[in-house]
Amino acid sequence: MFDLVIRNPNTRTPLKVDVYLYMGMAMERLGISGRSLFENAYELNPYSKRTVQYIIMSDISKLKRLQSVSGSNQEKKEIIEGIELTVSKHKELFPVNDEWLEKVADVLK
């Protein structure tokens, strides 16, 4: 059903963004990366704080999955660097001393 919403040319962009986020979240809950769906939402609205948060959370989930298995330290390092880059690139979307970003920083330590 979500696919029909996305393909419909009359569907407004905010609804398409929400559909991509819901689909990505469902994938993540199944233990599968939903990042590509979050990226689709981001492409539709790169100024959405919520979309950036989902991308970051997807990367944190990937990092957590790697920590539960013996993933390479290099891969973990690359994910952390990617999260830090995403945060710095989109910092203007968040208020100064944003509590959510502070929690992300704590997770990465």
Q: What is the pLDDT of residue 71?
A: 60
Domain ranges of the chain: 2-108
The answer, as to whether pTM is greater than 0.95, is: no
Q: What is the pLDDT of residue 66?
A: 83
Q: What is the pLDDT of residue 28?
A: 93
Which is more confident, 43 or 72?
A: 43
Which pLDDT tens digit goes with each residue over 67-82?
Answer: 777 667 888 899 999 9
Q: What is the DSSP letter of 8?
A: -
Q: Averaged over 3-21, what is the pLDDT?
A: 95
The DSSP result for 18-75, as a single string, is HHHHHHHHHHHHTTS--HHHHHHHHHH-TT-HHHHHHHHHHHHHHHHHHHHTT--HHH
Give kind and range of the element (H or E) at residue 5: helix 2-7
Which is more confident, 76 or 45?
A: 45
**Res 86 pLDDT > 80:** yes
C-alpha span between 41 and 48 (Å, rounded): 9
Arithmetic mean of pLDDT over the chain: 93
